[in-house]
Structure formats: C-alpha cells, structure tokens
C-alpha cells in the first residue's frame, strides 16, 4: 500500500504590512481619506486597514472614569 500526501487546502497567501504601508495609512487618515479609499490606494483588503487602525488606537481611562482614545 502506497501512501501519498494529498493536501486539499491551499497554503495561506497573506503578507504583513510594511512599515511604509503603516506610515502611509497614518498619513492618508490625517488627510481625511476613508479606510475603504486607503485600501484601494494600497491594494489591500479594507478589513486589513480597519484592523490596523484599531490596533493603533488605545482606550484610556480618565480620573473621572470616562474613556477616551
């Protein structure tokens, strides 16, 4: 009996964002572009841009227990 490897799933094809792309996202946000427009300009999926924006912000607590970003 001969066993062969038959993979039914394809390997992931994702790429990490480069520091240049992260800087470009920041600059375009400051210019007023929407995340969807930024995604089109960079050739990335819009959810990637939304996740990167969310990752770059933090929610902090003031002394009166209200939050801010």
Q: How confident is the model at residue 41 (pLDDT cuts 50, 70, 90)?
A: very high
Q: How confident is the model at residue 63 (pLDDT cuts 50, 70, 90)?
A: confident
Q: How confident is the model at residue 69 (pLDDT cuts 50, 70, 90)?
A: low
Average pLDDT value for residue range 3-24: 80
Q: Hey, where are the domains in the chain?
A: 19-55
Average pLDDT value for residue range 53-61: 76
CATH of domain 19-55: 1.10.10
Q: Following DSSP, what letter does each residue of the chain receive, concatenated?
A: --------SPPP---PPPHHHHHHHHHHHHTT--HHHHHHHHT--HHHHHHHHHHT---EE-TTS-EE-
Q: How confident is the model at residue 28 (pLDDT cuts 50, 70, 90)?
A: very high
């Amino acid at each position: 009996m001969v066993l062969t490897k038959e993979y039914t799933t394809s390997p992931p094809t994702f790429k990490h964002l480069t520091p240049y792309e992260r800087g470009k996202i920041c600059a375009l946000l400051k210019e007023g572009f929407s995340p969807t427009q930024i995604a089109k300009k960079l050739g990335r999926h819009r959810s990637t841009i939304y996740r990167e924006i969310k990752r770059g912000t933090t929610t902090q607590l003031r002394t009166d227990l209200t939050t801010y970003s």
